[in-house]
Amino acid sequence: MAHRRSLSQSLVSCLGVVLLCVVLPHAAESAGQAVSRQAAGPNVSVGVTDYRSKNFLVHTDLPSAEAQRLLARLETMLGHMTRYWGRPNRKIVECYVVDRLTNWPTGAIDPRALPSIRANAGITLSGILTRGNRFSAKSRVYSVSRRGTPQHEAVHAYCMQTFGRTGPVWYSEGMAEVGNYWREKDSKAVHCNAIVVNYLRRSKPKAIHEIVQPRRPPRDSWQNYAWRWALCHLLGNNPNYAPRFRPLGLALLTGKPGVNFQRVYGPVSREVAFEYLFFLQHLERGFRVDLCSWDWKAKYRIPRGGSSVTMLILAGRGWQPSRLRVTRGGQYAYSAKGTWKTGSEEQPISADGRKDKTGRLMGIIFDDYTLSKPFEMGTYGTFTSPMDGKLLLRCRDRWNEIADNSGTIKLRLKIAGRGKPLPRPKQTGQQDAGSSKTATLKKRTGS
């Protein structure tokens, strides 16, 4: 920042200035799009006005109604972040939010921030005074008004003023993007921009060790921000890793020595890598990593003789353990009793699902962090396992639409042809999918 308020000389030993900038997907759009706000219609008020809330002072040329909505979003986002980190905000976060740069008088924007504003992005300028472990920091946010950019920069400002640092670049920018995309309703779901989803789905996955490099690359990009967000979103919301992620973040923000990503997640690195790739392969807006997390603690067994294994399969979860270990070429019989719903307004259906196969009971085999091709099951029938491994099951539905599913199927499984046949379940729920069938699976794939 350009100027600082005076502080007690007993506190001061050094002065540092920290610049944190955001390069968001819309910064990569055409130049015409980048300056479209400056060529917009007459609804934007001329001049800059101050707007205050409990935690923010916003200088902006936005119309009053838009400025008030921005304040509400900032307060909501900050409330979430302070609850997450367990550290209340103790200083006003000052923001300069630009709708049209031509509305601002010369000199109102710090010259160091102008390149970011003209690039349709944002930057946080911070000054920090330290003495030993004590510090006092002041940050100023400079941002374009496009939704998300002020929130991203406000996370940086809060971290600098609260912790005196923002952590290594992967965590700093990843968590700022989490703040950018956070929504009060359905906060665990993916809400990132469509351009980010498309990029992550279509690109070769970036290795986790590349993402968590401690230093910022010479030329950063919104694509790098996307990978950092993906990793932070996964670790912060997946119940397998979230309990470690918050303490890791606090250690990074407070400068605790000897703590890093590898030390925390190294013992479960293969599990993290598997779920990270699974997340990227199925990424859509609305996807819930908490509902699609893997149960690594489930115990599996090989069935003996004509005995059967019984389990409950939830409609509102991803792949769930059957607790049955299968062998390649082995035939297994199943019987599924009960109904479930693939939406709050849908009618109950059996494990046969509907004509479009939504709601059908599905299976997949897991072995050594590799998955078979998913296969159809239903209410009653047999399947042939394509590989050795652990059988998992789920209700077929779009991955980003399982959150409103409900109901449970009770499933019995056994080796086909041994012992007493499984009872055929009574027909219940909506029946429009036809009869169950035998599934013979031969293709092994990592999808």
Inside any domain, residue 196? yes
DSSP 442: -
- 285 with 347, same domain: the answer is no
Inside any domain, residue 54? yes
Q: pLDDT band at residue 25, thresholds of 50, 70 and 90?
A: low
- 402 with 432, same domain: the answer is yes
- 115 with 223, same domain: the answer is no
Inside any domain, residue 175? no
The Cα 199–Cα 280 span in angstroms is 10
For residue 286, is it left (φ>0), alpha (ψ between -120 and 50) or beta? Answer: left
Residue 339: φ, ψ to 5°: -135, 160
- 48 with 105, same domain: the answer is yes
Q: What's 319's domain CATH number?
A: 2.60.120.430
**Per-residue pLDDT tens digits for 201-250:** 999 999 999 999 878 887 889 999 999 999 999 999 999 999 999 999 99
The Cα 142–Cα 221 span in angstroms is 18
Instruction: Write down the pLDDT at residue 428.
Output: 63
- Among 294, 324, 346, identify where a domain stops: 294
**Per-residue pLDDT tens digits for 131-158:** 888 899 999 999 999 878 999 999 999 9
> Greater confidence, 426 or 377?
377
Cβ 302 vs Cβ 376: under 8 Å: no
> Greater confidence, 386 or 43?
386
DSSP one-letter string for 297-316:
T---B---TT-EEEEEEETT
Q: pLDDT band at residue 324, thresholds of 50, 70 and 90?
A: very high
Instruction: Write down the pLDDT at residue 116.
Output: 95
Q: pLDDT band at residue 34, thresholds of 50, 70 and 90?
A: very low
Instruction: Write down the pLDDT at residue 182.
Output: 81
- Among 238, 267, 294, identify where a domain stops: 294
- 316 with 290, same domain: the answer is no
* Average of per-residue pLDDT across 54-74: 97
The Cα 141–Cα 150 span in angstroms is 8
- 282 with 317, same domain: the answer is no
- Domain of residue 337 covers 308-440
**Per-residue pLDDT tens digits for 333-361:** 999 999 999 999 999 999 999 999 999 99
- Tell me the three state secondary structure of residue 227: helix
* Average of per-residue pLDDT across 161-179: 95
Cβ 324 vs Cβ 413: under 8 Å: yes
| Nearest one of 59, 219, 81, 229 to 156, comparing CA atoms | 81
- 19 with 162, same domain: the answer is yes
Instruction: Write down the pLDDT at residue 215.
Output: 80
Cβ 242 vs Cβ 235: under 8 Å: yes
- 271 with 335, same domain: the answer is no
∠ CA(148), CA(100), CA(29), 5° rounding?
Answer: 55
**Per-residue pLDDT tens digits for 74-120:** 999 999 999 999 999 999 999 999 999 999 999 999 999 999 999 99
User: How many domains does the chain fold into?
Assistant: 3
Q: pLDDT band at residue 21, thresholds of 50, 70 and 90?
A: low
Inside any domain, residue 303? no
- 111 with 134, same domain: the answer is yes
The first and second tokens of residue 349, run together, are 């259906």
Inside any domain, residue 207? yes
For the chain, percent of residues with pLDDT exceeding 90: 77
Instruction: Write down the pLDDT at residue 14.
Output: 38
DSSP one-letter string for 186-211:
TTTB----HHHHHHHHHSPPPPHHHH
Instruction: Write down the pLDDT at residue 12.
Output: 32
Inside any domain, residue 447? no
Cβ 18 vs Cβ 128: under 8 Å: yes
- 275 with 397, same domain: the answer is no
- Among 261, 294, 327, identify where a domain stops: 294
The Cα 53–Cα 249 span in angstroms is 27
- 2 with 51, same domain: the answer is yes
Inside any domain, residue 212? yes
- 324 with 389, same domain: the answer is yes
Instruction: Write down the pLDDT at residue 4.
Output: 31
Instruction: Write down the pLDDT at residue 120.
Output: 93
pTM of the model: 0.86
Inside any domain, residue 71? yes
Residue 360: φ, ψ to 5°: -75, 145
**Per-residue pLDDT tens digits for 256-310:** 999 999 999 999 999 999 999 999 999 999 999 999 999 999 999 998 888 999 9
Residue 185: φ, ψ to 5°: -90, 130
Instruction: Write down the pLDDT at residue 43.
Output: 38
How high is the mean pLDDT of the chain?
Answer: 87
Instruction: Write down the pLDDT at residue 19.
Output: 56
Cβ 309 vs Cβ 362: under 8 Å: no
* Average of per-residue pLDDT across 396-410: 97
